[in-house]
Structures are given as structure tokens and as C-alpha cells.
Amino acid sequence: MKTFGLIGEKLSHSLSPEIHNVIFQKLGIKATYNLFEVENNNIAEVGEAIRVLNIKGVNITIPYKEEVINSVEELSKEAEKIGAINTIINCEGVLKGYNTDYYGFGRMLNRFSVSLQNKKVVILGTGGAAKAVAQYVSDSKPRDVVLIARNKEKAKRTFKKYDVFDYKDLKNIVGDIIVNTTPVGMYPNMGESPVGTEIIKKYNTAVDIIFNPIETEFLRLARENGLKTIDGLYMLVGQAVKAEEIWLDTEISNAVEEEIYLKIRPLLEEKL
């Protein structure tokens, strides 16, 4: 039986086991998906642990998407461009890193009919998730891409090819799509939003990659101001499906992906 899992700091509310177990069931794969909570001072040992325990593949979640790059021998093309990984495959002891957040974000936008072409996209946050989102947006022929950081100078050193501003600059920025990649508003700190109504209402579409809760305070404010809103659950499913395609060397249809999404959404609603 093959072993897979999720590596992160605090994982008690993760939906990943449910998603991957549904995929295993649909594909007739005998496998287990476990949660591996790792303290920050042990993250450097992750690569060796994957080899020793003969784990076939893992997902990586906050706060380790950038740090674990040092644990792999090879990077996929998108991971190399992004500088962060969230998926590792163990190929007989050789570890290769991928960024399936990139694909999950794209699949989510496609599912909800959001085009980035010729749009001005403002991204809140400059962490590991923002790297994947910014790269996908940049690859989708937007009119402009802007990142908003708490520490503008630090972010500029990482996001060299993008315009980077801090939050106080937002009052002078108008765009089409605003994307939250920060953890602000995520369970258990619900009821918080990275920006207020006066900023949100300058856009047509609001996307939050947070999936717990399904409707964050950010999305609630956006909905009440007439914006199209998209939560992060389909991105979670999409990146998980892409990870399985990598691990199992197979292709999973859009119909199966949609079925998984429709099965997982009620499970999340039950947890809230």
C-alpha cells in the first residue's frame, strides 16, 4: 500500500485526507493519506524522512512552501519559476518538487469563468501562495499585476518583476480582480479581512484562496458590494487532483474533479 501525506505546522482542520481518499476510491488505488505535523526546527529533515519512511508523495502547506525547496533534488518548470513548492514525489529516493497551487488556481478560475486576459489584477500578500498566484496571473496575459505587501522593500527583493506596493497605497489603486493570498480571515480567526469595503468596492471580482470558512469576511464584504466572489475550495481540490496526477502518473478528468468538489463541499460546511 502506497503512503502519501500532508506536511505542515498545524493540520487538525485539514480537508486534504478527505479529498485524496475520494480520489483513491474513484481510481481504485490502495493508498493512505496521513497528516504530518512538523515543527519549524525539524523542517530541514523532511527530505530524509520521506526517503526513510518510503513515502511516495507529500503535499506541503503553510508555512513551509518555500523552505522545503532545499529538501528536493529537482524542480519542475513552474516550481523553478515560482520559487515555492507544495508537492513532492519520491522517485526511488530522488525527490522532485512541483507547485500544484499554480494549476489549482487556474482550474478554479476556469471553473467559475473568470478570465485574466487584459485585466488589472491586485494580489494581497507576498508569501509562498502569492508566488504561485502571481506567476499564473502573469502567464495569463493580464493588463497589469500588482502585489500588496506589509513589508514593501522586502517583497520587492523577492518579486522583482512585479509592481509592489504597501497597503496604504491601495486607496490610489483601481483594478478588475482582487485576490487574497494572505491567511487573514482563515479559521479560527474568522471575521477579519485584509482590506475594508472602501477598497473592495473598486473591483468587479474578489477571489480568496482561503477555503475555511467558505465565505470569509473579505468575500462577505465583496458579495454585499455586488462583486462576483470565488472561495478557495475549488483551488484546494484542483491542486490536490494535479498532485495525484503527478504521483500516480495518470490523468484525472474534469468530470471526476467536479465530482470530488461536490462531495467535499458539504463536508466542509459540516465542519463549520
**Whether 104 contacts 239, CB under 8 Å:** yes
Q: What 8-state DSSP symbol labels residue 149?
A: E
* Whether 30 is catalytic: no
Residue among 2, 10, 65, 77 flagged as catalytic: 65
Listed in sequence order, the residues at least 6 apart from 115 whose beta carbon sits closer than 8 Å to its beta carbon are 109, 140
Tally of CB atoms within 10 A around 24 = 18
**Radius of gyration of the chain from its Cα atoms, rounded to whole angstroms:** 18
Task: Encode 95-118: b = buried (16+ Cβ within 10 Å), e = exposed.
Answer: bbbbbbbbbbbbbbbebeebebee
Q: How far is CA 51 from CA 182, 197, 206, in A?
A: 32, 48, 41
Cα separation, 216 vs 18, whole angstroms: 22
- Catalytic residue positions? 65
